[in-house]
Amino acid sequence: MGKLSDVEIRHWIAAGERFEGKGDGGGLSLRYRQGDAVPRWLFRYRLAGKPRVLHLGSYGTLSLADARKTAKEMRARVALGYDVAGEKQERVQEAAAKIEAAQNAVTVAKLADEYLTERIIGRWKHPNIVRSRIERDIKPAIGHLHLADVKPSHIDALLKGIVKRGAPTMATDVLRWLKRMFDYAIKREMVLSNPAAAFDPSDAGGKEEARDRWLTRAELVRLLAAMKAAKGWTYQNTLTVKLLLMLAVRKAELIEAPIKEFDLEAGVWALPADRTKTGQAVDIPLPRQAVEALRELVRLAGHSAWLLPARKMQTRMVPHIDLNTVGAAIAKNIRPLLGADFPPFVVHDCRRTARTHLEALGVLPHVAERCLNHKLKGVVGIYNRHDYFEERADALQRWADLLEELEAGGAGKVVPIKKRKAG
């Protein structure tokens, strides 16, 4: 029987009596220093003639009986030549190493952020397109996974999920960026293999066929009416869709626009070269209706520097709304009101709609092409540097007038643009 007892130990604790060590025999002792919250068990032994100490635990978690049992097991191991204190230290170090490795392990989300910073921002004209795919599709699906844990099955499930929601083109984009991200990780020895390498566009739904969808006058009447009646559809969304139709600009050009680009007094939108697909700056004439819509958006933006500021806190820290916000809202709030006989359409179809109706209004092809900020082809594009600003202003105003009439419920009359006399 040992020298200590539970009654004795509880008395020392109650009295606050401190001591360096009280032995129980067989190498087991109890320590209760000034800095100890509770007494602690120690197992003292000698190995190769050198004194060693193993900390077994506190009296609060290890009873006297359990401490004696543990000490007996440790004496047996020491007798066999084991350094029990050294073994515990190794276990502690291994556990600490595992914790540190887990903390330092690179997740897909961390890789995506680094790739965006190092390879996209400052190099790509429209980095937010890549950012959108990362924040909308990649991070929610596999962002939490460590790189070494990502399997082809994760990639497959991610792509199938995007295709299932009817976005094969986006799935193809996501696959392309996943491959590039993991190739980047391989180069930096973050991972040994690319889990997306075996996939091709056919696994992402294939390439989407070129679209030819445009909205007729009758369809525009229904769309404009639906935007007034839809529940959950915001006023900002209505103004955005109207501007996309009126101005025939690309979605990103409007959504990512800072307010400073617009001179509403002069009725001009100065779109800089670094925000156009062609890489050329363009002054866009603003119809009266567009100026009114823009004034409303500026008012609704409050103190923001952006025309369409982000509507809620977003971890991706993009100051404006997501590129897919309006398209998603159309799918959720507008399409159900249009009926099964109304063929599906996407936001980009606004440009094709505008181009088609400009043609019907008698706008000359080269002027209509410049309204969409398309480069003129062939010899005309090489030698003709005239930007047709006045002609574009005339064309876009007539188009905006037609949209205004259609919104009022009218059929809209074709008012062809009079050809100017030469000279």
Domain-embedded: residue 419: no
Look at 16-30, 50-64, 92-106, 205-219 and tell me which has the smallest mean pLDDT: 92-106
Domain-embedded: residue 212: no
Judging by DSSP bridges, how do beta strands 28-32 and 40-47 pair with one another? Answer: antiparallel
Look up tokens 């909308």; give the residue. Answer: 136
CATH code at position 306:
1.10.443.10
Domain-embedded: residue 418: no
Domain-embedded: residue 209: no
d(CA 167, CA 228): 27
Residue type, 235: Y
Structure tokens at 74: 């440790």
317-368 residue pLDDT tens: 578 888 878 988 998 899 999 988 999 888 889 999 999 999 999 999 989 9
CATH code at position 195:
1.10.150.130
Q: Which of 104, 121, 137 is the last residue of a domain?
A: 104
- Do 297 and 347 share a domain, yes or no? yes
Domain-embedded: residue 97: yes
- Do 97 and 126 share a domain, yes or no? no
- Do 234 and 378 share a domain, yes or no? yes
- Do 284 and 400 share a domain, yes or no? yes
d(CA 372, CA 205): 29
What is the average pLDDT score of the chain?
86
- Do 279 and 358 share a domain, yes or no? yes
Domain-embedded: residue 174: yes
Look up tokens 């501007």; give the residue. Answer: 243
- Do 76 and 88 share a domain, yes or no? yes
* Percent residues over pLDDT 70 in the chain: 88
- Do 99 and 115 share a domain, yes or no? no
- Residue 204 is predicted with a pLDDT of 79
- Do 268 and 336 share a domain, yes or no? yes
CA distance to 119, 130, 136, 231, 338, per residue, from 125 (Å) = 12, 11, 20, 36, 36
Reported as a pLDDT band with limits 50, 70 and 90, residue 380 is very low
Q: Could you give the 3-state DSSP secondary structure of residue 81? A: coil
Look up tokens 């004209």; give the residue. Answer: 125
Q: Which of 104, 131, 156 is the last residue of a domain?
A: 104
Q: Which of 170, 204, 238 is the last residue of a domain?
A: 204
Domain that holds residue 128: 108-204
Reported as a pLDDT band with limits 50, 70 and 90, residue 246 is very high
What's the pTM value of the predicted model, to 2 decimals?
Answer: 0.57
- Do 237 and 327 share a domain, yes or no? yes
Is the pLDDT at 36 greater than 60? The verdict is: yes
- Do 166 and 48 share a domain, yes or no? no
Is the pLDDT at 44 greater than 50? The verdict is: yes
Q: Could you give the 3-state DSSP secondary structure of residue 263? A: strand
SS3 string of 95-159?
HHHHHHHHHHCCEHHHHHHHHHHHHHCCCCCCHHHHHHHHHHHHHHHHCCCEHHHCCHHHHHHHH
- Do 137 and 60 share a domain, yes or no? no
Reported as a pLDDT band with limits 50, 70 and 90, residue 104 is low
Number of domains in the chain: 3
**How far is Cα of residue 63 from the mean position of the Cα atoms in its chain?**
53
Instruction: DSSP letter for 241, please.
Output: H
Residue type, 234: T
Domain-embedded: residue 211: no
Reported as a pLDDT band with limits 50, 70 and 90, residue 290 is very high
Residue type, 395: A
- Is the distance from CB of 102 to CB of 147 less than 8 angstroms? no
159-178 residue pLDDT tens: 998 888 777 778 888 999 99
- Residue 188 is predicted with a pLDDT of 86
- Is the distance from CB of 29 to CB of 2 less than 8 angstroms? no
CATH code at position 81:
3.30.160.390
- Do 233 and 326 share a domain, yes or no? yes
Mean pLDDT of the region 63-76: 92
Domain-embedded: residue 43: yes
